[in-house]
């Protein structure tokens, strides 16, 4: 009985030694790649080394930085999407807090392309390559005008923007009846439905995407030849994001906003956007429209002629 108990103790000690050895090996294998020598790095380490990304919202990023779950001392690049909008909404302190965790360095970009102003502008200002063609229409003329634009021929994919979900569905059904393959993207769709619509467009199973401004930001569909604002965007920032879906990666594109007289609040800024495009010309009716001569809300004062009174 004592011999059996002794064997059991030895077996238990051997099992524990094996577990400790296995644990030590696992901790050794799980070291961060920065703690390893080059000849010790595995394929997994090299993959992490090459593709070590963190994609997060600013609030969550600040949280993990403050709790030291994440450090940016070895971070090479930080990309802040929609930073201008974050700052406009009052989140500049949050942006600064994130940047304070970045290492201080005077290292320059590691490619000549990153230092070439023309190439940088070509990537960050696609609207400079987008020809903008304004069409002044009434609400009742929009369907007929869209059909006329479509009949001129286009290379798919095409994105048509509307402002409301119900208008999105109705327009897509009309296009299907006309013989076009259309899909929709709006805030009422679930994630799987959105991904399905984008996949169909990318695979060329669909020619046209009818969407609300959900598609104006954060999606990348290659080779979009034309963007139609069936309903004009309610502000110029959203309009610029819309036309940014085309003319990407050095390619050209066409943007056609349908403009009604009820949308005069955007006339001035739209005119400025078109005049700032080297490949676009402003429609005379828009250029000369009274509401396109000054910003909305601007108070105009007339200068009084000086009069000389002779006594």
pLDDT of residue 295: 86
- Write the DSSP symbol of residue 132: E
Number of residues assigned to the chain: 311
Quote the CA–CA distance of 195 and 184 in Å, as a whole number: 11
CB 182 within 8 A of CB 146: no
CB 225 within 8 A of CB 154: yes
pLDDT of residue 1: 45
pLDDT of residue 90: 79
CA terminus-to-terminus distance, the chain: 137
Across 249-262, b (16+ Cβ under 10 Å) vs e yields: eeeebbbbbbbeee
Biggest alpha carbon–alpha carbon distance for the chain: 137
Query: Which of 308, 260, 284 is closest to 137 using CA atoms?
Result: 260
Across 37-74, b (16+ Cβ under 10 Å) vs e yields: eeeeeeeebeeeeeeeeeeeeeeebbeebeeeeeebee
pLDDT of residue 89: 73
CB 231 within 8 A of CB 171: no
pLDDT of residue 187: 85
Domains and CATH numbers, the chain: 7-100 (no CATH), 120-292 (3.40.50.300)
Which positions of the chain have pLDDT values less than 50?
1-2, 106, 311
CB 259 within 8 A of CB 270: yes
């Amino acid at each position: 009985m004592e011999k059996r108990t002794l064997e059991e103790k030895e077996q238990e000690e051997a099992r524990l030694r094996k577990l400790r050895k296995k644990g030590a090996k696992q901790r050794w294998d799980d070291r961060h790649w920065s703690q390893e020598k080059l000849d010790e790095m595995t394929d997994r380490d090299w993959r992490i080394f090459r593709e070590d990304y963190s994609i997060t919202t600013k609030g969550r990023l600040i949280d993990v930085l403050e709790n030291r779950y994440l450090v940016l001392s070895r971070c090479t690049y930080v990309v802040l999407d929609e930073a201008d909008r974050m700052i406009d909404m009052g989140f500049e302190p949050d942006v600064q807090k994130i940047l304070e965790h970045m290492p201080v360095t005077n290292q320059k970009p590691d490619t000549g392309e990153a230092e070439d102003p023309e190439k940088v502008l070509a990537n960050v200002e696609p609207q400079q390559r987008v020809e903008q063609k304004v069409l002044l229409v009434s609400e009742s003329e929009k369907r007929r005008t869209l059909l006329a634009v479509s009949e001129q021929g286009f290379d798919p994919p095409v994105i048509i923007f509307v402002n409301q979900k119900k208008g999105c569905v109705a327009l897509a059904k009309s296009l299907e009846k006309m013989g076009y393959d259309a899909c929709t993207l709006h805030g009422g769709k679930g994630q799987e439905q959105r991904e399905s619509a984008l996949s169909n467009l990318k695979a060329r199973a669909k020619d046209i995407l009818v969407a609300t401004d959900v598609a104006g930001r954060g999606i990348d569909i290659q080779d979009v030849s034309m963007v139609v604002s069936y309903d004009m965007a309610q502000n110029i920032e959203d309009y610029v994001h819309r036309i940014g879906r085309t003319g990407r990666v050095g390619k050209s594109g066409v943007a056609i906003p349908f403009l009604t007289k009820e949308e005069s609040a955007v006339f001035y800024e739209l005119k400025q956007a078109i005049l700032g495009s080297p490949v676009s010309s402003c429609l005379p009716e828009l250029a000369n429209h009274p509401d396109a001569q000054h910003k909305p809300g601007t108070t105009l004062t007339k200068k009084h002629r000086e009069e000389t009174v002779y006594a």
